[in-house]
């Protein structure tokens, strides 16, 4: 039977389609347009009526899709489901290929990068939206710590893999249900499930899934560090402190002791004492760095310290 052969071919497509590689994939045996157009000859309202029809055979003058042409309801349901799934797969393969071809080096690619980095906003609310907005700005501004193309290359593979996985799961559930009787799993239910497979081919959902995984991983790997104190952004003061500390670091061991004496601070003295009997110069410089970092938080205090150390550094200002 012609329809029985179609059923075998389409069930084969149902089992294998949707996992083609990102690049260099072979041309499909049946072009995408043909697979989609073929489904158009089996419109939904007609196939539902045919599925629920009592008789298996066509009456005189009738032709599929208005009759089942000898197929049982289960066979007919499975054939139509396979046809719709093949059409969905064809569309998905086309979408997937276009994504990989157009993603790099184009505005479209940039938009994908921004979409990917904004993806967390889909799941995590306002704070996440702000976080990823910052990340997007970095990509959009071209000052990223990540290369946009490299990002797309890696991220897109992950997103496509996520979509492939979601589709494969949804398709597996359909294949399992196709073993059920026509009463237990009707054609409208099967078509609705095919729609769910189609819904998996959405970038935002794939990104959401990836983000959820990343968040779960992060929670698993969470490691807390014992933070001594919080430090806010300091602007130019940080640069000036850095210059002073570089000059201090260049002094010899005897001068370092003089620096400690000139600073005359009990907290610094205690941290030097804690180093032991005869700490080396580098260890003392390290403690001076920490003291300066922690205790000099305003311009006035910095200028005062610079003045104290001027005889040792030879500089009146930084």
Partner 1 sequence: MADTHIVGAKKTYSLPELNQWISEQEMQLGPIVNIADGDDCTAGEFNILGALPTSKFARVALKVGAACVLDDDLELITEGQAYLSGVLMDVCLARPK
Both structure tokens of 228: 């001594």
C-alpha span between 252 and 73 (Å, rounded):
93
Work out how close the CB of 94 gets to partner 1 at its nearest, in angstroms, rounded to a whole number: 25
| Beta-carbon contacts of residue 257 (< 8 Å; ≥ 6 apart) | 284
Work out how close the CB of 138 gets to partner 1 at its nearest, in angstroms, rounded to a whole number: 6
Work out how close the CB of 93 gets to partner 1 at its nearest, in angstroms, rounded to a whole number: 23
67: left (phi over 0), alpha (psi -120 to 50) or beta: beta
Whichever of 10 and 139 has its CB closer to partner 1, that residue is: 139
Whichever of 64 and 135 has its CB closer to partner 1, that residue is: 135
Whichever of 32 and 158 has its CB closer to partner 1, that residue is: 158
Q: Tell me the DSSP string of 117-162.
A: HHTTHHHHHHHHHHHHHHHHHHHHHT--SS-HHHHHHHHHHHHHHH
Q: Tell me which residue of 78, 32, 54 sits closest to 190, measured CA to CA.
A: 78
Whichever of 110 and 135 has its CB closer to partner 1, that residue is: 135
C-alpha span between 174 and 176 (Å, rounded):
5
How distant, in Å, are the alpha carbons of 50, 81, 210 from that of 89?
Answer: 24, 12, 22
Binding residues for partner 1 (CB under 8 A): 116-117, 120, 124, 127-128, 130-135, 137-138, 144-147, 150-151, 154-155, 158, 210, 213-214, 217-218, 221-234, 238-239, 241-242, 245-246, 249, 282-283, 286-287, 289-290, 292-293
Work out how close the CB of 252 gets to partner 1 at its nearest, in angstroms, rounded to a whole number: 17
Whichever of 131 and 175 has its CB closer to partner 1, that residue is: 131
Whichever of 127 and 169 has its CB closer to partner 1, that residue is: 127
Work out how close the CB of 134 gets to partner 1 at its nearest, in angstroms, rounded to a whole number: 4
C-alpha span between 95 and 109 (Å, rounded):
14
Work out how close the CB of 272 gets to partner 1 at its nearest, in angstroms, rounded to a whole number: 13
């Amino acid at each position: 039977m012609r329809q029985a052969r179609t059923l075998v071919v389409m069930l084969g497509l149902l089992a294998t389609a949707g996992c083609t590689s990102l690049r260099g994939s072979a041309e499909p045996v049946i072009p995408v347009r043909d697979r989609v157009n073929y489904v158009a000859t089996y419109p939904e309202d007609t196939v539902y009526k045919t599925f629920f029809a009592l008789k298996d055979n066509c009456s005189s003058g009738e032709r599929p899709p208005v009759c089942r042409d000898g197929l049982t309801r289960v066979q007919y349901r499975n054939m139509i489901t396979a046809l719709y799934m093949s059409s969905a797969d064809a569309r998905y393969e086309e979408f997937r290929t276009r994504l990989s071809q157009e993603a790099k080096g184009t505005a479209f690619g940039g938009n994908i990068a921004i979409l990917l980095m904004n993806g967390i906003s889909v799941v995590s609310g306002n704070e996440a939206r702000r976080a990823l907005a910052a990340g997007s700005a970095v990509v959009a501004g071209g000052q990223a710590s990540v290369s946009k193309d490299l990002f797309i290359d890696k991220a897109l593979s992950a997103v496509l893999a996520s979509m492939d996985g979601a589709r494969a799961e949804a398709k597996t559930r359909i294949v399992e249900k196709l073993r059920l009787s026509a009463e237990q799993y009707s054609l409208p239910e099967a078509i609705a499930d095919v729609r769910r497979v189609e819904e998996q081919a959405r970038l935002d959902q794939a990104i959401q899934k990836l983000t959820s995984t990343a968040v779960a991983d992060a929670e698993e790997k969470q490691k807390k560090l014992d933070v001594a104190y919080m430090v806010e952004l300091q602007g130019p003061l940080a640069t000036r402190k850095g210059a002073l500390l570089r000059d201090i670091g260049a002094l010899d061991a005897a001068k370092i002791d003089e620096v400690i004496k000139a600073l005359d601070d009990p907290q610094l003295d205690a941290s030097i004492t804690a180093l032991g009997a005869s700490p080396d110069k580098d260890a003392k410089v390290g403690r001076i760095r920490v003291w300066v970092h922690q205790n000099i938080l305003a311009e006035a205090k910095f200028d005062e310290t610079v003045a104290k150390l001027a005889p040792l550094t030879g500089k009146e200002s930084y």
